[in-house]
Amino acid sequence: SQTIHQWPATLVQPVGSPLSLECTVEGTSNPNLYWYRQAAGRGLQLLFYSVGIGQISSEVPQNLSASRPQDRQFILSSKKLLLSDSGFYLCASRGSGELFFGEGSRLTVL
């Protein structure tokens, strides 16, 4: 089965600072990769998805961006964080059916 590594696990950043969250996947090749965000006590909001290297689709306009430099690597970035960017960020991978989630990165923007 797939294993998804996500880091950092937690981070506290000031408003206006940059962000980089990284995700790598093991146990599968050419997966479809996703970034979800979950605000406190809320549901799963799809931010970006990728069907291959360099192919990124954005679901929600915002100050975040994503990149996929390698088949099993997915990066979420921001040049300037907003307070509203706080949340629990989940990387996910999907092969033929099941969607697997990484352990998440909890971001607090102060």
Partner 1 sequence: GENVEQHPSTLSVQEGDSAVIKCTYSDSASNYFPWYKQELGKRPQLIIDIRSNVGEKKDQRIAVTLNKTAKHFSLHITETQPEDSAVYFCAASGDTGFQKLVFGTGTRLLVSP
- Residues in contact with partner 1 by CB under 8 A are 31-32, 34, 42-44, 46, 49, 51, 90, 94-104
Taking the least distance from each CB to partner 1, the nearer of 58 and 79 is: 58
Taking the least distance from each CB to partner 1, the nearer of 30 and 80 is: 30
Taking the least distance from each CB to partner 1, the nearer of 26 and 82 is: 26
Calpha distance 110→97 (Å, rounded): 38
Residues paired with 17 in a beta bridge: none
The Cα-based distances of 35 to 43, 110 in angstroms read: 13, 22
Compute the least distance from the CB of residue 14 to partner 1, in Å: 23
46 sits in which H/E element: strand 45-52
